[in-house]
Chains A and B, each alone.
Chain A
Amino acid sequence: MEKKPEIFTDFQLDALKEIGNIGAGNAATALAQMVGKRIDLSVTKVMVLRTDAIAAFLGGLDQNVAAVHMPVYGEIGGVILIFFPLERLSELSGMLIGKPDVNSSTLSELGQSSIKELGNILAGAYLNALFRLFHIQMIHGLPGLVLDMAQAILDTVLVELEQKEEVAIVIQTELMENEKQLTGSFFLLPEAGSLKRLFSAFQNSLGITGNG
Chain B
Amino acid sequence: MAHRVLLVDDASFMRMMLKNILVGSGYEVVGEAENGAKAIDQYKALKPDLMIMDIIMPEMGGIDAVREIIKVNPAAKILMCSSMGQQSLVVEAIQAGAKDFIVKPFQPSNVLEAVKKALD
A interface residues, Cβ below 8 angstroms from B: 30, 33-34, 96-97, 109-110, 113-114, 116-117, 120-121, 123-125, 127-128, 131, 137, 139-142
Name 7 A/B residue pairs within 8 A (Cβ), A-sorted: A33-B106, A96-B13, A113-B12, A113-B13, A117-B13, A124-B104, A128-B86
User: Residue B11 contacts which of A97, A116, A125, A141 (CB distance < 8 angstroms)?
Assistant: A116
* A127: B residues at CB distance < 8 A: 84, 86
Chain B interface bracket (under 10, 10 to 19, 20 to 34, 35 or more): 20 to 34
Quote the shortest CB–CB distance from A125 to chain B (angstroms).
8
* B96: A residues at CB distance < 8 A: none
Contact flags B77-88 to A (C-beta < 8 A → 1, else 0): 000001111101
Question: Which residue of chain B lies nearest to A127 when distances are taken between CB atoms in the complex?
Answer: B84
Add 4 more A-B contacts to A96-B13, A110-B13, A116-B11 (CB < 8 A). A97-B13, A113-B12, A123-B83, A141-B56
Question: Which residue of chain A lies nearest to B10 when distances are taken between CB atoms in the complex?
Answer: A142
* A131: B residues at CB distance < 8 A: 86
**A109/B106 contact (C-beta < 8 A), A131-B86, A139-B56 known:** no
**A142/B105 contact (C-beta < 8 A), A97-B13, A116-B11, A128-B85 known:** no
* A128: B residues at CB distance < 8 A: 84-86
